[in-house]
Every structure is written in C-alpha cells, then in structure tokens.
Amino acid sequence: MLSETEIHAIDHEVSLVPYKKAAVIEALKIVQQERGWVSDESVEAIADYLEISAAEVDSVATFYNLIFRRPVGRHVILLCDSISCYVMGYQTLYEALQQQLNVKFGETTADKNFTLLPNACLGCCDHAPALMIGEDLYRDVKVEELEGILKKYV
Amino acid sequence: MERPLTKNINQAQPLNLKEYEAVGGYAAVRKVIQGMTPQEVQKVVQDSTLKGRGGAGFNTGMKWSFVPMGPDARHPKYLIANADEMEPGTFKDRLLLEGNPHQLIEGMILSAYAIQADISYIFLRWAYRKAAQLLRKCFAEAYEAGYLGKNILGSGWSLEMYLHTGVGRYICGEETALLNALEGKRATPRAKPPFPQVSGLFGKPTIVNNVETFCCIPHILNNGVEWFKGLSKSEDGGTKIYGVSGKVKRPGAWELPMGVTMRELLEEHAGGMLDGYQFRGALPGGASTDFLTADHLDVKMDFKSVAAAGSRLGTGTMVVLDDATCPVGFVHNLQHFFAQESCGWCTPCREGLPWVEKILLRMEQGRGKTGDIELLEMHSKMLGPGNTFCALAPGAVEPLQSALKYFREDFERHIIEGKCPYHSATEAPKRFSKSMVV
C-alpha cells in the first residue's frame, strides 16, 4: 500500500508527463525516500497505481543502481572506485572502512547504521579520493579522517 | 585572457538572479527574444563553430538545424541539458552547475528559443546534491522574473523547465538512453535514425546538449561570432574547461582557450607531477579516450589535433598515469567500470567487457596466461566501432587498445613474472562483483 504522502507526490509527477507509466522512476524515488528502500510489496503497489505490470516496474528498479531493492542502513556510504580515485588510493579507504565497520561492499553493518557501496565517479576527480554519506560529500579524504567522519552519523 | 564561462563563478555563494543580471545576465534573452528569429539564433550558433562539449564534438548549431520548424512541426518540442556527468575523470560540469546555475538556465532558454521548444529538462545525476538545490532556487527566481513560464517577456513564446535527478548508471549520459530514462524506462540506447531532433522524448522533436555547451550560448549571442572564434587557438571556437586529475601538484579545472597544449595544461596549470612521480601517459578526455604519452605533450587540445594524435578530446578532462601506478591495474579499473555500466542490451558489450575485465584481473593477480595480450587485442577490435549498438564499448576499448600499444612491456611482465610488478602479491586488487551491489 502506498501512503497518502506517496500518492500525492506520485500524482504530481504523473501530471508532468504524457502518460502514467513515464512517472515510474519518480515513483520509485518517492517510495525509497519514504521507506529507505523498495520492497516487493512496494513494487506491486507502484505497478497497480501506474497500471503497468510489476515485472516492468522491477525491470526499471533493478536497472538503476541507486534504487535499493534490499533494505539498507540508515546511512548509505558511496565510495568512489573510479579511475582518479583509484590512482589516488581509494583502496586504502576501502580497507579502512572494512575494518572500522566490519562490512564489505554491498553489506550493511550489524547495527543497521551504514550500508557500504562502491559508486562510479562522483565527479570530484581533482579532490580524489571522494565518498558520499547520505547526501554529504567528502573530498580529499584521508584514512585518518575516516573515524571522525563516521562518528557524525552514529 | 577572457574566461566568459567561469568569470562569474562563485562556488561559495553563486550569483542570485539580481546579481547575475547586474553582470549582464539574461541580457541575451532580452536581446534575442525581442530582436532575433529562431533561425537567426541557429545561424549565429552554427557560424560560431561551437562544438558539443559532451565529448562527441558535433557542431551545435548544425545539430539544432535538424529540428523541424514552422507551423507544421510537432509540439511539444523538448530541450534537455545533459548534466549526468559520469565519465570517470570528468568534473567540469559540476563547476558550472555549482558555480553559476543561472548561466546554464539562460543558455537553455536561448537554445530552447532557437528550436522553439516548449518544455526543457535538466537531467542531473543524483550525486550532485548541491547543484540540485541551487537549480531549484534559480528556477524559482527565473519564473518569478518572467524568463521562464508563459509568454516570456511578452513574446508569446512559453517555456517550462524541470529538474530530473537520475538514479545512477553511466549509460544515461548517452543521449537516447537519457531519453528512455526520462520516459521512465531502462536506460538502453535507441537505434538511430530516427534522430532525437525528429523523434526524441515521447516521440517529439528533442535536442540534448551538454551543460558546458549551453553555457557558451549567452556569450556567443552577446558578443558575436568573431569574438567567440577569437577566444580559441584552434579552428574550434571558444574556450574550453579543461581538467587534470591524478598525481599532479594542483589537480583542478580551468577555462582556457580551445587548443592549449597538453604540456601547458599539465605543467603550467596543474603544476607538473607530484614530487617523486614521473608522467607516463594520460587519458586526454575522460575514461573512454585513448592514452597519449610524453611524446604527445605538444599536441593541442582541440578536437582535430587530439584525433590526429590517435585519441579524442572527449570531455577535455585529463586523467594522468604516473610511473608508480600499474598500467594494467589502471586499465582494469576502467574496464571494471565499463563492464559494470554496460546496459546489457547488445551481446558484444554485455559479454565482451566482463571478459576483458576478467583477463585483466587475472593478469593483475599474477595468473595471466600466454595469449592473454592477443585475446585483449582481439576484444579491442571486436568491441570497436560498428560492432555494438552504441558507443559505450568502442569507448571502453580506446584506453585498452592504446595501453596495449604504449605499455605493452608492462602487460608482458605481468604474464612472464606471474605477478604485478607494481604490487606485492598480497596487495593485488580483489574483484568487486556486481552481485555485491544492492
């Protein structure tokens, strides 16, 4: 079931496009914003509401890497693993994050506070290595700064 | 030296509408809407020799000229800014988006007028949160001032502008894949023809241009064709935002005349290599461009000169390979990216790129086999232009084929020595499989 807030937001997106189906990505974003991730039930609810098949909604949901089809922690860490960050040593940050959080890429910490994901180029190559936590961007990150950064989210 | 695109950039506090108007902002909109026909605008932009700054380098005015005009043209027509900056090593549009969002909006209004578009979108990648926030504020100001909305400046022409924030995937930067994403579909590219100018978003005439391209438009219309051409040191008009990243003293982005040399960029602007590191090569325009080496440092960074040297200007943002970084590891990182970002639509790309990544990984881990180099060479041909549905795989093999040419010894040593000469065996990179991603 979609909430009233979700329905209201989806209706607005539908009003901007020529047909309902075109709002499916926006609908997925709205549900994820409200619930943190997109469950099978949500996929079905969106499909019903937009009058398309659940398979079609899921094919879109699974295509895009920032739509989460599994529960994630309260804060998602996106660590840039692209070329400039590779040259500037993102691997050291990854090792430190694995140690401090006891998770690998794709995993969520036991206290469900963080999910750690690799991300393609964040567009801060002149300040590599870079990572995002939620909506916050960190640039020129040094290993010794990680603990302090993570503390802000505990 | 004139720097029209960046002179009013302020990343700490970008200009609001009043401040932007005070430095001449939106003057071009007034001038054009009240005194030029759409065809005249197209002609000026075409004559200015402005080439698309997203990487392909096609004449912008000519691209617009394929949009059907006149009373029989189908509406709504769409104009889209491609702000899905995801080419690894590229960070120039972020500067323009965060530093002076009104400049982009003004450029889009002018371009929309030139093709008589009714609806415009900025397709912004999710990660650019600050840009999203700023653009929303600037949209509101522009609507309030009457530069957007119904009957703009009393002309009878109307334009709506929306922000779409993406949900990931590099392929969204391919213009027809971007259209599918905006239509709420998987972002797989479309067959061309029909070209988007004729049948684009929701089947209607559509123009997609890069952020930097749009930012040039107000300046061309304010100052004229000759002025714009005069900014450049090459036959491609204008300035270019160049960038350098990697182990250099001052990584960054700078607006410079189109056609500065790689050496100028690297030595004067980026300050040269960090102490203790030597330059081995660079991807001149992002991850999908062929390596150039120290022999090419005097190559001018314009479309034609970089092509003549065997690479592409691409986005003009250079990624430097230093002598302490393993070229095989470097190329593996790139191929990991491309394999992951393949949309999966066509077989050579979907199957070929993971194969390439696998071969490079085993080389890097000391398990390379005799024949692997030949296998990689075969892939760079099989995945090259003409064999795939879109330009992703041909772009992916550009750094691979040129690395095999310029750094072949490094590839051979990995196989002969059974290890990466740059790492100890325990440090070899692990494979991050797609299944690890939520």
B262-321 confidence digits (pLDDT tens): 999 999 999 999 999 999 999 999 999 999 999 999 999 999 999 999 999 999 999 999
User: Is there a domain that residue A13 lies in?
Assistant: yes
Give the pLDDT band (50/70/90) at residue B424: low
- The helix/strand/coil state of B141 is helix
- Gyration radius of chain B over CA positions: 22
Same domain, A33 and A97: no
**Chain B partners of A82 at a C-beta cutoff of 8 Å?**
88-89, 287, 333, 337
Residue A63: burial class (beta carbons within 10 Å; 0-12, 13-18, 19+): buried
* Segments forming the whole domain that contains residue A32: 4-63
User: How many angstroms separate the CA atoms of B260 and B258, rounded?
Assistant: 6
Mean pLDDT of chain B: 95
Query: Nearest Cβ partner of B167 from A29, A59, A120?
Result: A29
Residues shown for chain B: 438
CB under 8 Å to B290, separation ≥6 — which residues?
A: B283, B310, B311, B312, B398, B399, B401, B402
Indicate yes or no: CB of A65 within 8 angstroms of CB of B437: yes
User: Which residues lie across from B286 on neighbouring strands?
Assistant: B284
**What number is the average pLDDT over the span A83-99?**
96
Chain A: give the shortest CA distance to residue B296, in Å. 21
> What is the DSSP secondary structure assignment for residue B346, as one 8-state letter?
S
- Residue A132, pLDDT score: 98
User: Is there a domain that residue A68 lies in?
Assistant: no
B328-375 confidence digits (pLDDT tens): 999 999 999 999 999 999 999 999 999 999 999 999 999 999 999 999
Interface predicted TM-score (ipTM) of this complex, two decimals:
0.96
User: How many angstroms separate the CA atoms of A122 and A93, rounded?
Assistant: 15
Euclidean distance between the first and the last CA atom of chain A, given in angstroms as a whole number: 31
User: Is there a domain that residue B4 lies in?
Assistant: no
Indicate yes or no: CB of A126 within 8 angstroms of CB of B436: no
Answer yes or no: is pLDDT of B1 > 90. Answer: no
The number of distinct structural domains making up chain A is: 2
Same domain, B174 and B66: yes
The number of distinct structural domains making up chain B is: 3
**Chain B partners of A21 at a C-beta cutoff of 8 Å?**
184
> What is the DSSP secondary structure assignment for residue B264, as one 8-state letter?
I
- Residue B56, pLDDT score: 86
Same domain, A91 and A131: yes
**Chain A partners of B320 at a C-beta cutoff of 8 Å?**
87
- Residue B425, pLDDT score: 42
User: How many angstroms separate the CA atoms of B71 and B200, rounded?
Assistant: 19
Same domain, B298 and B339: no
B211-221 confidence digits (pLDDT tens): 999 999 999 99
Give the pLDDT band (50/70/90) at residue B435: very low
User: Is there a domain that residue A87 lies in?
Assistant: yes
- Residue B428, pLDDT score: 46
Answer yes or no: is pLDDT of B433 > 50. Answer: no
Bridge-based pairing state of the strands B252-257 and B239-245: antiparallel
Answer yes or no: is pLDDT of B3 > 90. Answer: yes
Query: Are B352 and B380 spatial neighbours (Cβ–Cβ below 8 Å)?
Result: no
- The residue type of B33 is I
Report the alpha-carbon angle B292-B298-B300, nearest 5.
85
**Chain B partners of A118 at a C-beta cutoff of 8 Å?**
432, 436-437
Same domain, A115 and A54: no
User: How many angstroms separate the CA atoms of A76 and A148, rounded?
Assistant: 17
Query: Nearest Cβ partner of A126 from B128, B184, B245?
Result: B245
Residue B65: burial class (beta carbons within 10 Å; 0-12, 13-18, 19+): middle
User: Is there a domain that residue A90 lies in?
Assistant: yes
Same domain, B166 and B23: yes
**Chain B partners of A24 at a C-beta cutoff of 8 Å?**
184
- Backbone φ/ψ region at B417: left (φ over 0), alpha (ψ -120 to 50), beta: alpha
Mutation target among A63, A67, A114 for the B interface, most CBs of B within 10 A: A63
- The helix/strand/coil state of B242 is strand
Instruction: Look at residues B260, B294, B322 and tell me which one is the last residue of a structural domain.
Output: B322
Same domain, A58 and A86: no
Give CA separation, A14 vs A30, A38, A49, B163, B167, in Å: 12, 19, 11, 15, 18
Query: Are B123 and B82 spatial neighbours (Cβ–Cβ below 8 Å)?
Result: yes
- A42 in contact with B at a CB cutoff of 8 Å? no
Same domain, B354 and B429: yes
User: Is there a domain that residue A116 lies in?
Assistant: yes
Indicate yes or no: CB of A126 within 8 angstroms of CB of B252: yes
Same domain, B36 and B126: yes
Query: Nearest Cβ partner of B246 from A22, A84, A127?
Result: A84
User: How many angstroms separate the CA atoms of A129 and A107, rounded?
Assistant: 21
Provide the token pair at A28: 């997925």
Same domain, B280 and B344: no
Indicate yes or no: CB of A125 within 8 angstroms of CB of B319: yes
- The helix/strand/coil state of A115 is strand
Which CATH number is A18's domain given?
A: 1.10.10
Answer yes or no: is pLDDT of B436 > 60. Answer: no
Answer yes or no: is pLDDT of A32 > 70. Answer: yes
Mean pLDDT of chain A: 97
Mutation target among A60, A125, A133, A138 for the B interface, most CBs of B within 10 A: A125
Provide the token pair at B357: 């990544």
User: Is there a domain that residue A70 lies in?
Assistant: no
Which residue of chain A comes nearest to B246, CA vs CA?
A84
Indicate yes or no: CB of A120 within 8 angstroms of CB of B319: no
B128-185 confidence digits (pLDDT tens): 999 999 999 999 999 999 999 999 999 999 999 999 999 999 999 999 999 999 999 9
Query: Nearest Cβ partner of A126 from B129, B243, B437?
Result: B243
Query: Nearest Cβ partner of A123 from B91, B187, B322?
Result: B91
* Segments forming the whole domain that contains residue B120: 17-230
User: Is there a domain that residue A69 lies in?
Assistant: no
- A55 in contact with B at a CB cutoff of 8 Å? no
Indicate yes or no: CB of B251 within 8 angstroms of CB of A16: no
Same domain, A88 and A140: yes
Q: For residue B327, is the peptide bond before it cis, meaning its omega torsion is within 30 degrees of 0?
A: no
User: Which residues lie across from B319 on neighbouring strands?
Assistant: B245, B283
User: Is there a domain that residue B312 lies in?
Assistant: yes
Provide the token pair at B40: 């005249």
Residue B319: burial class (beta carbons within 10 Å; 0-12, 13-18, 19+): buried
Which CATH number is B278's domain given?
A: 3.10.20.600
> What is the DSSP secondary structure assignment for residue B371, as one 8-state letter?
T
